[in-house]
Amino acid sequence: MSHFTNAQAVIAGGVNSPVRAFAGVGGEPVFFKSAKGAYLESEDGRRFIDYVGSWGPMILGHGHPAVIDAVTETAKQGLSFGAPCVLETRIAEKICALVPSIEKVRMVSSGTEATMSALRLARGHTGRDKILKFEGCYHGHSDSLLIKAGSGALTLGVPSSPGVPAGLAEHTITLPYNDLDALDTVFQKAGDQMACVIVEPIAGNMNMVPPVPGFHEKLRELCTASGTILIFDEVMTGFRVAKGGAQSIFGITPDLTTLGKIIGGGMPAAAFGGRADIMASLAPDGPVYQAGTLSGNPVAMAAGLATLEQLDAPGFYESLTAKTLQLIDGLAEAATNAGIGMATECEGGMFGLVFTDAESVRSFEQVAAADVDRFRKFFHGMLDAGVYLAPSAYEAGFVSAAHGDSEINATIEAARDVFQTL
């Protein structure tokens, strides 16, 4: 029997996170046993150039010596205390230094926990219940955020998963990403009822979709005028697209920011933080309750801190950006030469590929209309060629500092061959 068959007998769906099941591309998922640098090795001994990077955290590549050393030495002192440790303060200081909008921060264990807690904090701080989110943006699987769009700008959404109480939809408004007119309409009618707006500053969960000019500026203006808390969900983009996150690229100061992935260096860690007056509403200082047994776990803090410290190397982001551009330009040229319509995006170490004849993609509607069948064929062709991409047409990809010319050129060459078969 296959590894997947064995897993299905004892794990719900055979996986511990749905996209890993390959349902979006067909076939059985690859089971991995080791990773180093830019490569993954499967249980059956195959070697893949990796552009998933554990879904973003591995910005240095897999098994970076500084991170492994930090984890090893910290683990020798104990795996968990359930009490304060100095490493928590050190990584908090580092985060606050790198992201000026974060005056105070709280560590948690996952991106879902970070966004869920940020929403509760926003509601508790403002005394309001309604939240605004955007179609195609994913902020974890907490109930309030699993609400799909209604039929119009002011139509409240409906639960997008069984198990989510319909009553929560009364408090969640979902708008199209990048729709400035819809923003104006909603804030005119309900701005004074909204606790917060939560948004991916660069969407990475409907493939990679950047904001249109003026989108974030409009959000900031409307939130400020209405007393609504603006939350940038930088679980994916934080330290991935730039040293100060996407907010440093756009010059926008959110009220709260959620972080994850890279700040754990591959270990389970995430955070939310922002204005000191808002964070003061959290227990034990304030009435908004949030807690976690493994929050601030010393091993995870060590891995995250070691990773963030490596980002200070001179030219780190310039090099990472150049690698990503080299990859994307090569893939785009190969697709064009094969007569394949494919829109591409990239920023820092993050990229997106959408099979469409459109020159650029700026909405969930455009992504949903893309050629998913062609992506499936492309995915499996690249997998057979030893290149591991996200097994879904709706996910971004990631380049690490460990990717070099040989890996990128091999990827482009593989794509040239695969494009000829599509």
Kindly write down the DSSP assignment for every residue of 138-205, as one continuous string: ---S-GGG-EE--SSTT---EESSTTS-GGGGGGEEEEETT-HHHHHHHHHHHGGGEEEEEE-SSB-S
Buried b (16+ CB within 10 A) or exposed e, 88-119: bebbbebbeebbebbebbbbbbbbbbbbbbbb
Q: What would the two tokens of residue 100 be?
A: 């000026």
Residue 59: pLDDT over 70: yes
Q: Helix, strand, or coil here: 321?
A: helix
Residue 154: pLDDT over 60: no
For position 166, what pLDDT does the model report? Answer: 81
Q: Please, which residues have CB within 8 angstroms of residue 278's CB and are 6 or more apart in sequence?
A: 121, 122, 125, 229, 255, 256
Q: What would the two tokens of residue 176 be?
A: 């199209």
- Residue pLDDT, tens place only, 32-55: 999 999 999 999 999 999 999 999
Residue 346: pLDDT over 50: yes
- Residue pLDDT, tens place only, 76-120: 999 999 999 999 999 999 999 999 999 999 999 999 999 999 999
What integer is the mean pLDDT of 291-301?
97
For position 90, what pLDDT does the model report? Answer: 98
For position 151, what pLDDT does the model report? Answer: 45
Q: Using DSSP bridges, classify how beta strands 104-108 and 130-135 pair: parallel, antiparallel or unpaired.
A: unpaired
Residue 73: pLDDT over 60: yes
Residue 371: pLDDT over 90: yes
Please tell me which residue, 196 or 161, carries the higher pLDDT value: 196
- How far separated are the first and last CA of the chain, in Å rounded? 31
Average pLDDT, the chain: 95
Q: What percent of the chain has pLDDT over 70?
A: 98
Distances (CA, A) of 106 to 44, 110, 113, 204, 310: 41, 12, 11, 24, 22
| Bond preceding residue 284 cis, omega within 30 of 0 | yes
Distances (CA, A) of 207 to 15, 174, 202, 221: 22, 19, 10, 27
CATH, range 3-59+314-419: 3.90.1150.10
- Residue pLDDT, tens place only, 352-363: 999 999 999 999
- Residue pLDDT, tens place only, 253-285: 999 999 999 999 999 999 999 999 999 999 999
For position 152, what pLDDT does the model report? Answer: 47
CA separation for the pair 239, 278 (Å, rounded) = 23
**65-310 is classed in which CATH architecture?**
3-Layer(aba) Sandwich (3.40)
Active site residues: 138, 233, 261
Residue 180: pLDDT over 80: yes
Closest CA to 416 of 352, 337, 359: 337
DSSP state of 339: T
Ordered by start, the domain boundaries in the chain are 3-59+314-419, 65-310
Q: What would the two tokens of residue 313 be?
A: 């190397």
**Residue type for 146, please?**
L
Q: How confident is the model at residue 145 (pLDDT cuts 50, 70, 90)?
A: confident
Residue 157: pLDDT over 80: no
